[in-house]
Amino acid sequence: MQPEDYEKLRDVTLFSELSEETFGALTKGAFLQRFPSQTVLFNQGDLPDFLYVLLEGGVQFTGTAPDQREAVVEILKPIDAFMPAAVLTNTSYLVSAKVVHPARILMVPAAAVQHAIAHDANLSLAMLASLSRQYRALLRQVKDLKLRTSTQRLGCYLLALAAESGSNGQVELPHDKRLIAARLGMTPESLSRAFSSLRTMGVEVRGHRIRLTDVSKLRQYCRPDRLIDSSEPELKVVSAA
């Protein structure tokens, strides 16, 4: 690992509060690698070999049904660690992970994590914060899936993208439409239908560029909700001495 990588990793929230010793133990046996798009990192059902830390790029989690149909459970953005729950409890991955945008990933051997967690209470706290955020993201998603029609879901997704980019109604889709459909729990056909329905709410589509020409009408129809749509910043465990 290059010294500049070492510095950069030290700043990752998961690692920033660790003792020099723990940080050294975690990174010593770790691999920092670039992966091209479509690389499969692991398959559902596998036992966890590594804690992965996504530093750049994008990774999708896929669930596969016995009949081989696939659902995209989540698309991870940097910087985030996956899958802490499986690694910490040594239970099989429930989803597969595949690179969807060329990625730079730190792979920390599961054994090193399990060893470090016995020695540095700050690692437990950092993992609790990371896992809390991921738990809450899934809770938001379950609400999104159960409370909204697919058209509302797409509308809220576009509004969230517009808010993130701060672009006043100009949105660039961050993934191809097939992947967005799968993430939102729709077929590509129902995504097209949903885009058509949203046309009357001022949603104009040109390939990957979307213009929201009447945000208040769209909000009125989709009812965005901060308890579903806000993407949470890094969390920190409140521990009072």
The nearer residue to a copy of itself, 170 or 220, going by C-beta atoms, is 220
Residue 200 carries which side chain, given as an amino acid letter? T
**Taking the complex as a whole, how short is the minimal distance between the CB of residue 116 and a copy of itself, in angstroms?**
9
CA 90 to chain centre: 21
Closest approach, Cβ 202 to a copy of itself, in A, equals 20
Rounded to whole angstroms, the Cα distance separating 38 from 54 reads 15
Rank residues 124 and 197 by Cβ distance to a copy of itself and give the closer one: 124
CB 185 within 8 A of CB 195: no
Which residues, 6 or more positions from 4, have their beta carbon under 8 angstroms from its beta carbon? none
Rounded to whole angstroms, how far apart are CA atoms 101 and 142?
A: 25
239 three-class SS? coil
How far from 134 is each of 11, 38, 83, 196, CA to CA, in Å? 20, 23, 10, 32
Instruction: Write down the least CB distance from residue 204 to a copy of itself, Å.
Output: 25
Q: Which of 151, 145, 149, 133 is nearest to 230 (CA)?
A: 133
Residue 1 vs 139, nearer CB to a copy of itself: 139
The minimum distance between CB 153 and a copy of itself, in angstroms, equals 12
Residue for token digits 């809770």?
139
How far apart are CB 217 and a copy of itself at their closest, in Å?
Answer: 15
Q: Which is nearer to a copy of itself, 137 or 173 (CB)?
A: 137
User: Rule CB under 8 A: which residues touch a copy of itself?
Assistant: 44-45, 63, 65-67, 69-74, 84-86, 88-92, 94-95, 111, 114-115, 117-119, 121, 124-125, 127-129, 131-136, 138-143, 145-148, 185, 223, 225, 227-228, 232, 235-241
Between 63 and 102, CB nearer to a copy of itself: 63
